[in-house]
Structure 1
Amino acid sequence: MEAAKASPRREELLEAAYRYVLDHGLGDLSLRPLAAAVGSSPRVLLYLFGSKDGLVRALLIRARADERELLRQTPTGDLTEAAGLIWDWLAAPAHRAVLTLWVEAYARSLIEPDGPWAGFARDSVREWLALLASAQPPGDRDTEGGAARRTAVLAVLRGALLDLLATGDTARTTAAVRHQLAALAGSAPLRRP
């Protein structure tokens, strides 16, 4: 069955389902408890989203909207400054639920590369690298060294995020991120051996 076209009711239920999965995760998502929590029925959810996989895909797209909002607020021209602002957003306690959901979806897309998770990790990497590229000066953006710097920044942010979500230690992870960003900002251009 194909998902119904966008409608106010679909959007309303998508937002309610998104709030639900922020609290409960996607891993063991069951339509009955979800439908009860959002004031609907499994049948209506299946009609509006086509299938449970269709609903999960819609929820993953919705989660990405929060990330894209961050992307729109990131300054351009200074990769280190942009990465620092991104880290501040990632480290904010108010964003833990969406980031935990992101980690779950990222991992599931690696473990279960088919189905609703398909491509989530790859697309996420591509989106974040594009964001970081837009924060670089135009002359650095299209160089091998520029690509290596934004990849290194992404690795620092992702690694620190996983650590933060596991430990809750904002001070330590923030200090580590700031240290690494300063080191990357002062690094010489990368050369091939």
Structure 2
Amino acid sequence: MSDPTRAPSARREELLESAYRYALRSGLADLSLRPLATAVGSSPRVLLFLFGSKDGLIRELLARARREELALLDRVRSDVAGSDPATVVRATWHWLVAPAHRPLLTLWLEAYARSLVDPAGPWADFARQTVDDWLAVLAGPPARPHADSDLVGRTLALAVLRGALLDLLATGDVDRTTAAVELHLSLVDAGGGPR
């Protein structure tokens, strides 16, 4: 078993990055240490030593995915700092539809679903954490006050984005899903309701 208080080694970080690239290609649901170890140039024994267990490795891979997602979304947030909520939602959607983000988003969706059906496993709290992450991104600048109506509006925007994202990942239809997001934004603007 690895010692979690020990400083991470260069080899551990290298294997984590290689395993992360493997997970982006292959997913995590059927992750088996032997094929993973072969793909990353290691052995199951070394992976178990460095990460403690298969669950420990999955937790590290999920944390790695979440760090990447948050870094990318923070860039979106900083690009639209001071903008109205519709601009924040639109910028977030444009980030979501970028083909380069599909592997990360597919992995995110897999982990999100697994955390709902296996809340005690390595996926624990992943879905809840990502809801909180996304609500924070949709809040715009950190200095903006967060009234209850603002939270409801961000929750609605998140629901629309998440639904459109599920559809996009299933169908690949960027035009239709983008039109649906734009229709939502126009209806919110027309009704003056929460965003």
**TM-score > 0.5 by shorter chain:** yes
The answer to whether the 8 Å contact 1:70/1:86 transfers is: no
What's the TM-score once normalised by structure 2's chain length?
0.90
Q: Which amino acid aligns with 1:113?
A: P
* Larger displacement relative to structure 2 (99-108 or 180-189): 180-189
Structure 1 residues 5 and 187: CA distance shift in structure 2, 3 A: farther
| Aligned counterparts of 1:172 and 1:158: Cα–Cα separation in 2 | 15
Aligned to 2:123: 117
2:78 corresponds to 1:76: no
Residue 143 in 1 paired to residue 147 in 2?
A: yes
Structure 1 pair 102–31 and aligned structure 2 pair: CA distance change class (3 A): same
Deviation by residue 1:95-148 (Cα, 9 ceiling, x = unmatched): 11111110000000001111100000000001111111234872xx32121111
CA distance in 2, matches of 1:176, 1:71: 21
What are the residue-to-residue correspondences of 1:86-97 with 2, within 5 Å?
86-97=92-103
Counterpart-to-counterpart distance in 2, 1:115 and 1:5: 25
Partner of 2:132: 126
Confirm or deny: 8 A CA contact 1:35 1:41 kept in the other structure: yes
Provide Cα deviations, 1:144-180, integer angstroms capped at 9, x if missing partner.
2111111111011100000000111010001111111
Cα distance in 1 for partners of 2:128, 2:189 equals: 26
Gaps in structure 2 of 5+ consecutive residues: none
Task: Give the aligned partner of residue 32 of structure 1.
Answer: 34
Residue 191 of structure 2 aligns to a residue whose secondary structure is coil
Q: Report the Cα offset of residue 61 of structure 1.
A: 0.6
**Secondary structure, counterpart of 2:122 in structure 1:** helix
- How big is each residue's C-alpha offset from its partner over 1:16-60, in whole Å with a ceiling of 9 and x where there is no partner? 001101111100000000000000111111111111001000000
Match of 2:55 in 1: 53
2:69/2:104 contact within 8 Å kept:
no
Could you tell me which runs of 5 or more consecutive residues in structure 1 were left unpaired when the two chains were aligned.
Answer: none
Which of residues 101, 108, 120 in structure 1 aligns to 2:107? 101
Structure 1 outlier segments of 4+, above 4 Å? none
Query: In 1, Cα distance between the equivalents of 2:44 and 2:129?
Result: 29
Distance 1:159 1:82 in 2: 17
- Alpha-carbon shift at residue 188 of structure 1 (Å): 3.1
Counterpart among 168, 182, 185 of residue 186 in structure 2: 182
**Is contact 1:17-1:38 (8 Å) kept?**
yes
Report what 2:69 is aligned to.
67
2:8 equivalent among 6, 9, 24:
6
Check conservation: 1:110, 1:121, Cα contact below 8 A.
yes
Structure 1: distance between partners of 2:191 and 2:10: 51
Structure 1 equivalent of residue 23 of structure 2: 21
Root-mean-square deviation (CA), in Å?
1.6
Distance 1:153 1:22, change over 3 A: same
User: Aligned partners of 1:12, 1:32: CA distance in 2, in Å?
Assistant: 17
